Structure 1
């Protein structure tokens, strides 16, 4: 057990924590104050740690000019749908691996996990012609389906690890009472596995929300564009860089993720730590 006995050790540990906190949170603080600075103050040579005057123009411009609200809506639709679809597929696959015996089960599990070793850009080379063949390029449906590759292998293994802890006696008792396999999964196993389901849903949601490569490649029209490419193409390009507007729009874009995590943090933490104690 790590113990701090002397005063010097406690002071040193506190200073170390302060240094780590500064390293982690100062960039966030700097981005926040940059969003509240006018362009005149933002680009002056003598940088200020506190804005001389709170300037709301960047936030107003981000909302009233451009398509940030449309892009946020598109991101919410694609990320939420892909996260729920990913979690559903991961739950079905994980339950199958955990509670059923069939040939080549372990090799199939390793095959699914091996997909995580490939860079997402390599997988995009295969996904693009498949979506093109079924006319799903430049659609929210196609983008939603493509997002599944981000988190499905890890999500499947997370659900598999959780389902292994579900007592087999509980399932056998339900079978004695005449319940089918699907009814056992839906009515008995899933209710007690809700924290793990929320965990993989949030995991997939954050992967999809932060995507830039797939959304820029598979979607080209303005009406289907998500928040990542929208911010990049509007605020940072070869002609100029509006850093104040970019910071303000970034905080508006991050708000839904922070809100979702704040609401579901108990279930998320419960799902992550569920395997620590049997």
Structure 2
């Protein structure tokens, strides 16, 4: 006998999934077809939902006539370096909060997390003069430091949650065998902590790769410009907009993050759920 309540529930679930999928994937679909349209078709009053004359002109223009490759290189360098440094600092900070007991441990951790309470623009007001005083304005190192300000608190708390689940008996056994604290961390704890560390790395990498506000404000030189402000200043201005070129360049800019996530998604899912259950 057909269960109407179960059937309705399944239909409702499918309908909700279709609606959510439409809002998630239709912008990506529109970006793809816009990058393949000729200018005459792209600027029609009545839009077409499939390119009548497919062209790769926008991709060729973005690759060979602009600074896209240099901007991608700058973003890759800054994002990878800041993500690696952020993951390294988060490992030591998270392990310290999870496995050591000292005065001020919890207030320090809460103080770090409180940085997430402030808007990005508000902290930029304090980061900007600090970088000017340190001589790091318009440098890749200064941009990396600004990214760590936001990524480190969340990364530290994620690793703290994971390290708290590591059995203390494992650490005590290694300490009884004469291993020091750093050796315990490096040879015992880190090898079993790859998934959350990869998760932290990907989180920081994607945050810095997609940033616009900080890179647009802290980087002035064209040769150091990253992909966010590069796309904005190259294809969009007050008088005109090259939407075809912008869509093609955006697709190529999204490729590194997409490839990295696909390659490391297994570790990302394991790390994101680490500590959820004992």
Report TM bin, short chain.
over 0.9
Alpha-carbon distance between aligned partners in 2 of 1:274 and 1:135, rounded to the nearest angstrom: 40
* 3-state secondary structure, aligned to 1:6: helix
Matched, 1:117 2:117: yes
Alpha-carbon deviation of 1:29?
Answer: 0.5
Q: Structure 2, unaligned stretches of length 5 or more?
A: none
| Mapped partners of 2:148, 2:275: distance in 1 | 24
1: CA distance, partners of 2:4 / 2:63: 50
Match of 2:182 in 1: 182
Consecutive aligned runs of 4 or more in structure 1 exceeding 2 Å deviation? 3-13
Say yes or no: does 1:149 pair with 2:181: no
SS at match of 1:147: helix
Does the CA-based 8 Å contact 2:115-2:150 persist in structure 1? no
Instruction: List aligned pairs for 1:219-230, cutoff 5 A.
Output: 219-230=219-230
1:201 aligns with 2:201: yes
**1:16-44, Cα deviation, whole Å (9 max, x unpaired):** 21122112111111111001001100111
Equivalent in the alignment of 2:25:
25
Change (3 A) 1:159 1:6: closer
RMSD: 1.3
* Equivalent in the alignment of 1:8: 8
Query: Does the CA-based 8 Å contact 1:4-1:10 persist in structure 2?
Result: no
Question: Aligned partners of 1:81 and 1:219: how far apart in 2?
Answer: 16
Measure the CA separation in 2 of the matches of 1:185 and 1:272. 21
What SS does the aligned partner of 1:220 have?
Answer: coil
Aligned residue in 2 for 1:102: 102
- 1:51 aligned residue: 51
**1:206-221 matches, cutoff 5 A:** 206-221=206-221
Is the Cα–Cα contact under 8 Å of residues 136 and 142 in structure 2 kept in the other structure?
A: yes
Shift of 1:50: 0.9
- 2:73 alignment counterpart: 73
Contact 1:38 1:55 in 2 (8 A): yes
Cα gap change, 1:4 to 1:155, in 2 (>3 Å): farther
Contact 1:83-1:201 within 8 A present in 2 as well: yes
Contact 1:150 1:207 in 2 (8 A): no
For 1:63, the equivalent position in structure 2 comes to 63
C-alpha displacement at 1:4, in angstroms? 8.2
Shift of 1:13: 2.3
Contact persistence 2:35–2:244 (CA under 8 A): yes
Aligned residue runs from structure 1 range 243-254, under 5 A: 243-254=243-254
How many pairs does the alignment contain?
276
Say whether 1:266 aligns with 2:266: yes
Unmatched tracts of structure 1, length 5 or more: none
Q: CA deviation at 1:6?
A: 3.4
